[in-house]
Chains A and B, each alone.
Chain A
Amino acid sequence: MSENRPLALVTGSSRGIGKFICEKLIVDGYDVVGCSRNASELVNAHYQHIAADVSDQSSVLNLFKQIRKEHGSLSVIINNAGIASMNHCLLTTVDAFDRVLNVNLKGTFLVSREGAKLMRRHNFGRIVNLSTVAVPMSLEGESAYVASKSGVEALTKVLARELAEYGITVNALGPSPIETDLIKGVGADKIAKIVNRLALKRLGRVEDVYNVIEFFIRPASDYITGQVIYLGGI
Chain B
Amino acid sequence: MERSQLLTLVLEQIEEHLQQTQIGNDASQPLPKISEDTPLYGKDGLVDSLGLVSIVLSVEQAINDELDSEIVIADDRAMSQKSSPFGTPGRLVDYTMLLINERK
Given A58-B70, A117-B57, A120-B57, is A65 in contact with B64 using a C-beta cutoff of 8 Å? yes
Nearest Cβ in chain B — how far from A208, in angstroms? 36
Number of B residues, CB within 8 Å of A: 10
A165: chain B residues at CB < 8 Å are: 50
* Cα separation A61 to B99 with both chains bound (whole Å): 15
* Cα separation A69 to B70 with both chains bound (whole Å): 12
Q: Is the CB of A65 within 8 A of B50?
A: no
Q: Across the two chains, which residue of chain B brings its CB closest to A118?
A: B61
- A 160-179 binary contact with B (CB < 8 Å = 1; else 0): 00000100000000000000
19 A-B contacts (beta carbon < 8 Å): A58-B70, A61-B70, A61-B72, A62-B70, A64-B70, A65-B64, A65-B68, A65-B70, A68-B61, A68-B64, A68-B65, A69-B68, A117-B57, A117-B60, A117-B61, A120-B54, A120-B57, A121-B61, A165-B50
- A 117-140 binary contact with B (CB < 8 Å = 1; else 0): 100110000000000000000000
- B 51-69 binary contact with A (CB < 8 Å = 1; else 0): 0001001001100110010
B contact residues vs A (CB 8 Å cutoff): 50, 54, 57, 60-61, 64-65, 68, 70, 72
* Cα separation A69 to B61 with both chains bound (whole Å): 11
In the A-B complex, the 8 residue pairs with the smallest Cβ-Cβ separation, listed nearest first, are: A61-B70, A65-B70, A117-B57, A117-B61, A62-B70, A165-B50, A68-B65, A65-B64
